[in-house]
Amino acid sequence: MSTHSSIPAMRPGTNVVLSAEAATLIAAPDDQVETEGEVPTALAPMVGRRRERLAVSDVLRNPEVRLLVLTGPGGVGKTRLALSVVEGLRDSFRDGIAFVDLSPISRSDLVLPTIAVNLGVRHSTNVPLLEAINATIRSRQLLLVIDNFEHVADAALLLTDLLMANPELTILVTSRSVLSVYGEHVYPVPPMSVPVAPADAPAGTPLTRSLLSSDAVQLFVKRASAVRSEFQLTNANARDVATVCRLLDGLPLAIELAAARIGILSPKMLVQRLQRRLPLLDDGPRDVPDRLRTMRNAISWSYDLLDPEEQAVFRRISIFANTWTLNDAMHVVSDHDLDRAGLVDEFETLDLISSLVDKSLIRQVDSDTASPHFGLLQLLREFGLEQLEACGEREVLARRHALYMLSIAEAASPELIGPNQVVWLERLAIMHPDLQTAFAWAMAHDPPELALGLATALWRFGYTRGHTREGREWIQSALERAPEH
- Which of these ranges, 121-130, 225-234, 335-344, has the smallest mean pLDDT? 335-344
CA distance 90 to 88: 6
What percent of the chain shows pLDDT beyond 90?
A: 43
Residue type at position 355: S
pLDDT tens for 146-189 read: 999 999 989 999 999 999 999 999 999 999 999 999 999 999 99
CA distance 278 to 254: 9
Query: How confident is residue 90, by pLDDT bands cut at 50, 70 and 90?
Result: confident
Q: SS3 for 80-140, per residue?
A: HHHHHHHHCCHHHCCCCEEEEECCCCCCHHHHHHHHHHHCCCCCCCCCCHHHHHHHHHCCC
Query: How confident is residue 283, by pLDDT bands cut at 50, 70 and 90?
Result: low
Burial of 194 (0-12, 13-18, 19+ CB in 10 A): buried
Q: Is the pTM of this model over 0.95?
A: no
How many residues are present in the chain? 485
* Closest C-alpha to 458, from 419, 407, 418: 407
CA distance 344 to 347: 8
Q: Count each helix (H run) and each strand (E run) in the chain, helices first.
A: 22, 7
pLDDT tens for 183-242 read: 999 999 999 988 876 544 545 555 667 787 889 999 999 999 998 899 988 888 888 999
Residue 404: per-residue pLDDT: 95
CA distance 74 to 253: 8
Cβ atoms 180, 1 nearer than 8 A:
yes
DSSP bridge partners of 100: 146
CA 121 to chain centre: 35
DSSP bridge partners of 374: 324, 364
Residue type at position 79: T
* Closest C-alpha to 138, from 111, 162, 113, 114: 162
Torsion sign over Cα 110, 143, 59, 193: negative
Cβ atoms 37, 99 nearer than 8 A:
yes
Which positions ≥6 away from 236 have C-beta within 8 Å? none
* Closest C-alpha to 182, from 152, 161, 166: 161
144: pLDDT strictly greater than 90: yes
Burial of 202 (0-12, 13-18, 19+ CB in 10 A): exposed
